Amino acid sequence: MATNDVLAVHGGTPLQGRIRVRGAKNLVSKAMVAALLGDAPSRLFDVPRIRDVEVVRGLLELHGVRVSDGGEDGELVFDPANVERASTDEINVHAGSSRIPILFCGPLLHRLGHAFIPDLGGCHIGPRPIDFHLQALREFGAVVEKTPEGLHLTAPNGLRGTKFELPYPSVGATEQVLLTAVMAEGVTELRNAAVEPEIVDLICILQKMGAIITVHTDRVIEIQGVPRLSGYTHRPIPDRIEAASWAAAALATRGDVEVLGAEQGDMMTFLNVFRSVGGAYEITDPRAPRAGHPGQEGGIRFWHPGGELKATALETDVHPGFMTDWQQPLVVALTQARGLSIVHETVYEQRLGYTEALNKMGATIQVYRDCLGGTPCRFGRRNFNHSAVIAGPSKLHAADLVIPDLRAGFSHLIAALAAEGTSRVYGVDLINRGYEDFEAKLAALGAHVERP
Ligand SMILES: CC(=O)N[C@H]1[C@@H](OP(=O)(O)OP(=O)(O)OC[C@H]2O[C@@H](n3ccc(=O)[nH]c3=O)[C@H](O)[C@@H]2O)O[C@H](CO)[C@@H](O)[C@@H]1O
Ligand SMILES: C=C(OP(=O)(O)O)C(=O)O
């Protein structure tokens, strides 16, 4: 961590104002990988300036893809005319920085017959194995060799469509199958697929490129391989995790924040919980114009309507359930709710470690190994602290905090903003991995923060 990687946060001021979210971190980076599959340039709008985008851009450029800025702010153009092998040393510069490199497997195997994948990064919220990815790739005909420097993959007999059932609806493994199956020979049937909005948007992109993908009921996706794909032009779905994070910040600080660009459809489950704990929101998107504001850019306005927040019980789950990435920011707001809130984290086994820092600030959160929810999950009886009981309301006070990962980091930041006094938050640069210009946005919302 750099010595200046610290933010002094003077808490106690409600966040108020407007900020804007752009393309979703969890779609944009995959859309960039999809551009590798085309035989013509692709154009992507609303690309946020975040670390994951830089990493994927770097990897694409190493593989010969020309990446340039388009005419609009946030527009990137990818020209895959000269895709080529990159050296393992150069690729390894990006080792440990993101999870996206694993999705280069299928596209690179199609384009080059070989792929080298460095060690993955991403948030430390559980072991995060890639066994489903590798199993699926082997089913397609890939040969995977694990070496100390990373993964080498080849496809000596090409890639062929297959029938594959995921043991759990993994987002990344579903994307792996999609990005591989679209140009594999024959038909692929994927069962127990993830159907997150970011996946549906990736399917839209692939369809624009010429892919034939059918989403059946019951998490079944069928892909008919095609011999060539063209480029795409696409404006991605907005970042629903960032939008929910600002919503949680508004609630925890008793503030009022309009998130321009946020969309109701992909946030319905979050909105229901937000309202049931006592938060207020208004859909201000252009499809719901307000009198006197015709045609203005809209989104969702979130605010604390006064009075006390109410405790709730929630379980994180795959879509359409309550997203795991919403959990950490929302829990900070739950420390301000009267009564006992219960959170059962069913997607990652180790996503509650950040609650220790909240307790240090005055919160009362107890974590449990048991499944404290209606649905027993994969982690029950496996010794993982994956349920939490939050007793509130608690008065939060300032503390020195070290950011462990992206969403936990944002939750630390919200807690510092809601707390009385000045906190020092170390390792804040990690937040740039998924929150564009977060310091400028904090300033726009009236937060008192500074780099000491
Ligand atoms: C870059 C990106 O899009 N990240 C998102 C993506 O992560 P990511 O795609 O890594 O998450 P997955 O949906 O794959 O993981 C879900 C669960 O499946 C397990 N698993 C996954 C793959 C595998 O091969 N074996 C295995 O056991 C994981 O350890 C985890 O417990 O979806 C998660 C779930 O919505 C989000 O929290 C992340 O923000
Ligand atoms: C877990 C997350 O991301 P990643 O998969 O990139 O680590 C996240 O965005 O909250």
The ligand 2 atom at the shortest distance from the C-alpha of residue 407 is 10
Question: Looking at 200, 219, 234, which one is the last position of a domain?
Answer: 234
Sign of the CA dihedral with 157 first, then 161, 163, and 169 last: positive
Mean pLDDT lowest among 42-51, 123-132, 159-168: 123-132
Q: Assess whether pLDDT exceeds 80 at residue 20.
A: yes
| Predicted complex ipTM exceeds 0.95 | yes
User: Which residues contribute to the annotated binding site for UDP-N-acetyl-alpha-D-glucosamine?
Assistant: 99, 325, 347
Indicate if ligand 1 lies below 6 Å from the C-beta of 326: no
| Residue 285 pLDDT exceeds 80 | no
CATH code, domain carrying 210: 3.65.10.10
Residue set of the binding site for phosphoenolpyruvate: 25-26
Task: Specify the pLDDT at position 290.
Answer: 60
Check whether 375 has a pLDDT greater than 80. no
Q: Is 371 a catalytic residue?
A: no
Same domain flag for 228 and 317: no
Please tell me whether residues 299 and 393 are part of one structural domain. Answer: yes
Confidence of residue 305 (pLDDT cuts 50, 70, 90): very high
Residues 265, 349, single domain; the answer is: yes
Whether the per-residue pLDDT at 70 is higher than 60: the answer is: yes
pLDDT at 380: 85
396: left (phi over 0), alpha (psi -120 to 50) or beta: beta
For 239-275, write each residue's pLDDT tens digit: 999 999 999 999 999 999 999 999 999 999 999 999 9
Least confident of 31-45, 52-66, 295-309: 295-309
Instruction: Say if residue 225 is in the same domain as residue 268.
Output: no
Q: How confident is the model at residue 374 (pLDDT cuts 50, 70, 90)?
A: confident
CA of 340 from ligand 1 middle (Å) equals 29
Judge whether 257 lies within some domain: yes
Locate the ligand 2 atom nearest the alpha carbon of residue 100 and give its number: 6
Mutation test residue for ligand 2: of 26, 175, 198, 436, the one with most atoms within 8 Å of CB? 26
Whether residue 35 is found in the same domain as residue 16: no
- Predicted local confidence at residue 123, as pLDDT: 87
Q: Pick the last residue of a domain from 234, 254, 287.
A: 234
**Closest among 226, 175, 227 to 201, alpha carbons compared:** 175
CB 398 within 8 A of CB 422: yes
- pLDDT for the residue numbered 439: 96
Q: What confidence tens digit (pLDDT) does each residue in 127-165 have?
A: 999 999 999 999 999 999 999 999 999 999 999 999 999
Average pLDDT of 287-297? 63
Whether 126 lines ligand 2, by a CB cut-off of 6 Å, is no
What is the torsional sign of CA 178, 406, 392, 282? Answer: negative
Euclidean distance between CA atoms 118 and 98, whole angstroms: 10
Q: Does 328 contact ligand 1 (Cβ within 6 A)?
A: no
What lies within 8 Å, CB to CB, of 71 at 6+ separation is: none
pLDDT tens track for 331-348: 999 999 999 999 999 999
Distance 18 CA to ligand 1 centre (A): 31
168 & 251 share domain: no
In a domain, 330, yes or no: yes
- DSSP-assigned states of every residue in 94-132: TTTS-SGGGGGHHHHHHHHSEEEE----S--SS----HH
Which residues belong to the annotated binding site? 25-26, 99, 325, 347
Predicted TM-score (pTM) of this structure: 0.97
The total domain count for the chain is 2
Query: How far does the centroid of ligand 1 lie from the alpha carbon of residue 126, in Å?
Result: 10
Is 1 part of any domain?
A: no
Tell me whether residue 303 is in a domain. Answer: yes
Closest CA to 25 of 442, 432, 441: 432
Domain boundary among 201, 234, 267: 234
- 320: cis peptide before it, omega within 30°? yes
Residue 170 has a pLDDT of 98
Residue with tokens 């310091």: 439
pLDDT tens across 169-195, in order?
999 999 999 999 999 999 999 999 999
Where does residue 91 rank: exposed (0-12), middle (13-18), buried (19+ CB within 10 A)? buried
Residue 98 CA, closest ligand 1 atom number: 1
Q: How far is the CA of 374 from the centre of ligand 1 (A)?
A: 22
Q: Give 380-424 pLDDT, tens digit per residue.
A: 888 899 999 999 999 999 999 999 999 999 999 999 999 999 999
Which residue segment(s) compose the domain that 156 sits in?
Answer: 25-234
Q: For residues 409 and 284, state if they share a domain.
A: yes
| Given 123, 204, 371, 377, the catalytic residue | 123
Residues 276 and 135 in one domain: no
CA of 122 to the centre of ligand 2 (A): 6
Same domain, 200 and 306: no
Shared-domain flag, residues 177 and 250: no
Beta strands in 187-295 (DSSP E): 187-191, 212-215, 221-224, 233-234, 256-260, 280-283
Q: Does 113 share its domain with 196?
A: yes
Same domain, 196 and 329: no
* Beta bridge partners of residue 143, listed in sequence order: 154
Q: Name the closest-CA residue to atom 26, ligand 1.
A: 129
pLDDT in tens, 82-101: 999 999 999 999 999 999 99
The count of other CB atoms within 10 Å of the CB of residue 17 is 15
